[in-house]
Structure 1
């Protein structure tokens, strides 16, 4: 039985009539069957295969590397064939950047074009036929999930979690969430702040460097180990303790001027109790600023992107998002494939606002942060989707002053 032509070869031939059609050898049971040249290539840094349009080649190193291992990946807006851009990936081994393999093929500089022996031996191509999911998810009923399961989950993923962080947090916090959170917080010099769910302590350190006195609390002992290790190298006014946000009994009522909780509350099992406790430890007139993953669009409940082909790194290949089961209240186990999974919780947005109202807070501000221009320039693959749908939201709520 004859193999179908490679879908990418077919698309290219629509713009270059003399282009050779190659038989598809991979993804034959999908709408995007692909030839060897247009399959997946193995990164020389992380060892993982990735779609050819997210892989570049360093000639000096004679090695492929992927978008995830590049410090940045700005878009090259020169048109080629039917596409309006490609990526340039910052080289992990030397100064400069390199175009991805789709652009290299267009220019006749793909290593398989320049080195026929590489094409014959399929050098760099992944032999694995399966296209793995980018994230592993498991949905379960909320009932039966314990505080201990939440704590254990965050201890289990601590090593992977900490590895993703710099002094400015992970990529989403640095480029999307924190600029908006810090703008809302304003001048914190001389303020007593609770970092509720401090994790690695990176935000506590940012606030302390700005002149605040910070108490960080987190459920995970291993996350706090990382926080204390970094603090030992600095002289900042930060105190860390292990604990649950639903029980802030170590703190007296009215202790804090500000409480901040950065992408935490969606992972708190006893949400209402936690919000009441934050209200209690704030002084009258104190502010509670928190961010969460957006309940209307978070994956896998209720949002799932439709991506064709499933491993493409091109933004336009995300056809749209299917949103369903928004009103479900479920536990969501999540993490990288093959690693431990942490547990969080999907709730409709009204649950957060009801918790605030019932505790006595008045909501003073609501934001759905967008990536800044510099983020879009340096990391278009990660952030342009956020111009279509919000990934995060931020709320400022106030404990009313006594009259």
Structure 2
């Protein structure tokens, strides 16, 4: 089954609703976090729990950083407080508003851009030293354009840090999982368009539409775009997630833009 829906518009409105609800990924950091970052004491996540190794960043002072589909008043203000020149591109005006709130509250400069993560035409080629892309490409139906655009806007030797979802997390029967039973129900390619029944879709009507992407597109897509993957770790979901007792469903990668392809 397919739906005649503008995914970008649908998910923009859905994430605006998540801000109003106070979803975990929409709650801005407090002034104490910004004060600590100014002292050089900070950490951020690409996946639900594990902090990204500081060695993956290097020194942020004076570097140009793009938070790609990563608004919400969390990572971007921290990078700015740590001394980076920061831009944020996100599909949700309300999410961008959380970054604006922190920037105005704490006297930070952060450039806010509303847009599609697959189209970075707002930025010139070679604009950034670092692209920080937390788990968010599950909200678009095609991710290879994301990798190609990230490659384009990075300088040679620039770094892409990404959080990605192992597609298996979307394939279990959610009703049985709530009972502590792990059973495959959906097949790849998974999307809320084609995999859910009308009844199931109605259950999640206030949430963003989700797409599961193969590891071939997630990891192979980065290398095909011209990146060399130089670091990787896995992470589990939030406490109480039954699948996390069996496997780590999230992956973080560090990839470097090669000077020549």
TM-score by length of 1: 0.52
Partner of 1:367: 233
Partner of 1:165: 27
In 1: Cα distance, 2:166 partner to 2:223 partner: 19
Partner of 1:41: none
Q: CA deviation at 1:269?
A: 2.9
TM-score by length of 2: 0.77
Instruction: Call closer, same or farther: CA 1:307–1:177 in 2, change over 3 Å.
Output: closer
Contact in 2 for aligned 1:208/1:237 (Cα 8 Å)? yes
Partner of 1:276: 148
Aligned-pair RMSD on alpha carbons? 3.5
Of residues 215, 222, 225, the one that matches 1:356 is: 222
- Greater relative contact order (Cα < 8 A, sep 6+): 2
Larger Rg: 1
Partner of 1:267: 139
Q: After TM superposition, list the pairs within 5 Å mapping 1:16-55 onto structure 2.
A: none
Structure 1 regions of 5+ residues with no counterpart?
Answer: 1-139, 311-317, 372-378
3-state SS of paired residue (2:87): strand
Of residues 182, 191, 207, the one that matches 1:321 is: 182
Contact in 2 for aligned 1:196/1:259 (Cα 8 Å)? yes
**What is the aligned residue count?**
243
Q: CA deviation at 1:321?
A: 2.2
Of residues 214, 239, 253, the one that matches 1:395 is: 253
Of residues 64, 76, 79, the one that matches 1:204 is: 76
Contact in 1 for aligned 2:165/2:212 (Cα 8 Å)? no
* Structure with the largest fraction of strand: 1
Q: CA deviation at 1:197?
A: 0.8
Contact in 2 for aligned 1:201/1:216 (Cα 8 Å)? no
Cα displacement string for residues 72-117 of structure 1 (whole angstroms, at most 9, x for unaligned residues): xxxxxxxxxxxxxxxxxxxxxxxxxxxxxxxxxxxxxxxxxxxxxx
Structure 2 regions of 5+ residues with no counterpart?
Answer: 34-43
Partner of 1:58: none
Q: CA deviation at 1:216?
A: 0.5
Cα displacement string for residues 136-173 of structure 1 (whole angstroms, at most 9, x for unaligned residues): xxxx648855332332332333312457625189xx95
Instruction: Call closer, same or farther: CA 1:307–1:384 in 2, change over 3 Å.
Output: closer
3-state SS of paired residue (2:189): coil
In 1: Cα distance, 2:201 partner to 2:81 partner: 31
Partner of 1:61: none
